[in-house]
């Protein structure tokens, strides 16, 4: 057991009771709780449509499908991300084109590099908002408009994070969210796709349930007695048990994120005098989710990074790495020039981040880091 774990699940009696009540309702598949969760989520983000799904990978896949991305198309994406952000491009037989990040201080996709990678085959841009901090969406949306490209936001790190007053996930054509067990909103597994486009929303709802014109819940309410299958769909539905958890999580999300913001402020103060450490997004003033707490080691190597992690673990501090670069995985092996991404993936350490951390915890982590150097 770690003295300070990387993550702490913020479940309480409300989540337990939500699941119990849903079981007692006798409706546990996609139904009233999914509908309620969608309505609350769309209101929270001020977006027209929100559709519950099995997970964020399904959301990313359906985003590619409904935007018409197909074989022969290219999609520009970061390599510094979880594999799902890139795998979804391959699911539709399109080609991922990896783009470097902006800098060691801003570890999101580089908007200026995006434009250099555009070809006649480019169909879309996938943006990942690392740690919940916004990418340069003003520039990116301008580039997309100029070249008639779609924008998919992988906002799985950023529920309620903002860019110039707009919620992440609502700026591009489609936004995708994850409710995996360690996310800000946790349902164990689960995802949400959001959009302001009615046609996109209608097709996603169709495709998430086998391309069926009605679902069991609609038929149970007497809105239909039969159905047709009009598209080649998937079984990407969320169930009401997970939706009930999601609803409970939404009730205290804002409070949890405000506490995380306080934890990050403690980190910034505690780490400011450690010369060997860069804190990405340190100058960001917008409201963000603070999903994780990444730091980057200066003038370092992967062996040194691993040494530092091992020393922290020895002191009872759990850490992680976000992320191994996707372009280095065997399935995507090729010739790429992504020097900033490769430095970060070799020298980033993810420190503990959750709302229950205390100032004393943060000072202990910082002191432990300083001793290692």
Same-domain status, 245 and 282: no
**What DSSP string runs through 217-275?**
HHHHTTS-S---B-S---B----HHHHHHHHHHHHTHHHHHHHHHHHHHHHHHHHTT-T
At 373 the pLDDT is 86
Question: What mean pLDDT do residues 12-22 have?
Answer: 97
* Contact in structure between 347 and 295 (CB atoms under 8 Å): no
In a domain, 278, yes or no: yes
Residues 6+ apart with CB under 8 A from 92: 61, 64, 65, 69, 70, 71, 73
Residues 6+ apart with CB under 8 A from 11: 186, 245
Question: What mean pLDDT do residues 71-92 have?
Answer: 98
Residues 6+ apart with CB under 8 A from 142: none
CA distances from 210 to 5, 66, 178, 234, 372 (A): 40, 14, 21, 5, 54
CA distances from 63 to 59, 91, 220, 229, 279 (A): 6, 11, 29, 20, 32
- Domain encompassing residue 304: 254-372
Residues 6+ apart with CB under 8 A from 201: 48, 49, 51, 195
Q: How many domains does the chain have?
A: 2
* Contact in structure between 18 and 244 (CB atoms under 8 Å): yes
For residue 86, give the 3-state DSSP assignment: helix
In a domain, 5, yes or no: no
- Whether residue 219 has pLDDT greater than 70: no
Residues 6+ apart with CB under 8 A from 83: 326, 329
Percent of the chain with pLDDT over 90: 94
Confidence of residue 140 (pLDDT cuts 50, 70, 90): very high
Cα angle at 90 between 86 and 96, to 5 degrees?
A: 55
Question: What mean pLDDT do residues 320-345 have?
Answer: 96
Same-domain status, 305 and 217: no
Question: What mean pLDDT do residues 136-150 have?
Answer: 98
The Cα 48–Cα 6 span in angstroms is 35
At 214 the pLDDT is 84
- Whether residue 39 has pLDDT greater than 70: yes
- Whether residue 29 has pLDDT greater than 90: yes
Confidence of residue 215 (pLDDT cuts 50, 70, 90): confident
Query: Phi and psi dihedrals of 111, rounded to 5?
Result: -60, -40
At 226 the pLDDT is 83
At 220 the pLDDT is 62
Question: What mean pLDDT do residues 302-328 have?
Answer: 98
Same-domain status, 241 and 299: no
Same-domain status, 78 and 115: yes
Residues 6+ apart with CB under 8 A from 255: none
In a domain, 31, yes or no: yes
Q: Which class for 241: exposed (0-12), middle (13-18), buried (19 or more C-beta within 10 A)?
A: buried
Cα angle at 177 between 128 and 162, to 5 degrees?
A: 65
- Whether residue 139 has pLDDT greater than 70: yes
Q: Judging by DSSP bridges, how do beta strands 122-128 and 74-78 pair with one another?
A: parallel
Query: Phi and psi dihedrals of 177, rounded to 5?
Result: -125, 150
Half-sphere exposure of 315 (CA within 13 A, CB side): 17
- Of 362, 256, 344, give the one whose Cα is nearest residue 294: 344
For residue 32, give the 3-state DSSP assignment: helix
Confidence of residue 223 (pLDDT cuts 50, 70, 90): low
Same-domain status, 133 and 277: no
In a domain, 219, yes or no: yes
- Whether residue 15 has pLDDT greater than 80: yes
Residue with tokens 């901090």: 133
* Contact in structure between 126 and 77 (CB atoms under 8 Å): yes
Please write the tens of the pLDDT for every residue from 330-342. 999 888 999 999 9
At 84 the pLDDT is 98
The Cα 88–Cα 93 span in angstroms is 9
Same-domain status, 182 and 75: yes
- Whether residue 278 has pLDDT greater than 90: yes
Question: What mean pLDDT do residues 91-99 have?
Answer: 98
In a domain, 287, yes or no: yes
**What DSSP string runs through 280-345?**
TTTT--S------EEEEETT--HHHHHHHHHHHHHTTB--B-S---GGGSGGG-S----HHHHHHH
Q: What is the CATH number of the domain that holds 42?
A: 3.40.640.10
Confidence of residue 225 (pLDDT cuts 50, 70, 90): confident
At 217 the pLDDT is 64
In a domain, 4, yes or no: no
Q: In this structure, what DSSP letter does residue 352 have?
A: P
At 216 the pLDDT is 65
For residue 324, the Cα-to-chain-centroid distance in whole angstroms is 16
- pLDDT averaged over the chain? 96
Same-domain status, 158 and 110: yes
- Last residue of some domain: 229, 251, 273? 251
At 222 the pLDDT is 63
- Last residue of some domain: 251, 281, 297? 251
Q: Which class for 278: exposed (0-12), middle (13-18), buried (19 or more C-beta within 10 A)?
A: buried
In a domain, 7, yes or no: no
At 243 the pLDDT is 98
In a domain, 6, yes or no: no
At 119 the pLDDT is 98
């Amino acid at each position: 057991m770690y003295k300070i774990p990387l993550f702490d699940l913020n479940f309480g009696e409300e989540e337990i009771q939500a699941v119990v009540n849903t079981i007692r309702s006798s409706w546990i598949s996609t139904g009233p709780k999914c509908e309620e969760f969608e309505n609350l989520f769309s209101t929270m983000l001020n977006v027209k449509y929100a559709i519950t799904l099995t997970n964020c990978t399904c959301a990313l896949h359906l985003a590619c499908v409904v935007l018409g991305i197909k074989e022969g198309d290219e999609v520009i994406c970061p390599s510094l991300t979880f594999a799902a952000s890139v795998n979804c491009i391959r699911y539709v037989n399109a080609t991922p084109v990896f783009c470097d990040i902006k800098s060691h201080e801003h570890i999101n996709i580089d908007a200026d590099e995006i434009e250099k990678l555009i070809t006649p085959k480019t169909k879309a841009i996938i943006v990942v908002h690392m740690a919940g901090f916004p990418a340069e969406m003003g520039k990116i949306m301008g580039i997309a408009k100029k070249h008639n490209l779609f924008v998919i936001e992988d906002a799985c790190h950023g529920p309620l994070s903002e860019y110039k007053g707009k919620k992440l996930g609502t700026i591009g054509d489609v936004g995708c969210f994850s409710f995996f067990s360690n996310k800000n909103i946790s349902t164990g597994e689960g995802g949400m796709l959001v959009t302001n486009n009615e046609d996109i929303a209608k097709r996603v709802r169709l495709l998430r349930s086998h391309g069926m014109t009605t679902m069991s819940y609609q038929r149970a309410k007497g809105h239909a007695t039969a159905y047709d299958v009009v598209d080649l769909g998937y079984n990407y539905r969320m169930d009401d048990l997970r939706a009930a958890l999601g609803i409970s999580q939404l009730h205290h999300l804002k409070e949890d994120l405000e506490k995380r913001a306080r934890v990050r402020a403690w980190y910034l103060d505690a780490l400011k005098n450690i010369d060997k450490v860069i804190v990405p997004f340190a100058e960001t003033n917008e409201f963000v989710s603070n999903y994780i707490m990444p730091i980057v080691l200066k003038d370092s190597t992967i062996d040194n990074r691993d040494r530092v992690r091992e020393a922290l673990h020895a002191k009872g501090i759990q850490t992680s790495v976000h992320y191994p670069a996707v372009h280095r995985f065997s399935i995507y092996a090729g010739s790429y020039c992504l020097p900033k991404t490769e430095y970060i993936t070799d020298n980033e350490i993810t420190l503990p981040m959750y709302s229950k951390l205390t100032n004393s915890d943060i000072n202990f982590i910082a002191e432990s880091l300083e001793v290692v150097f």
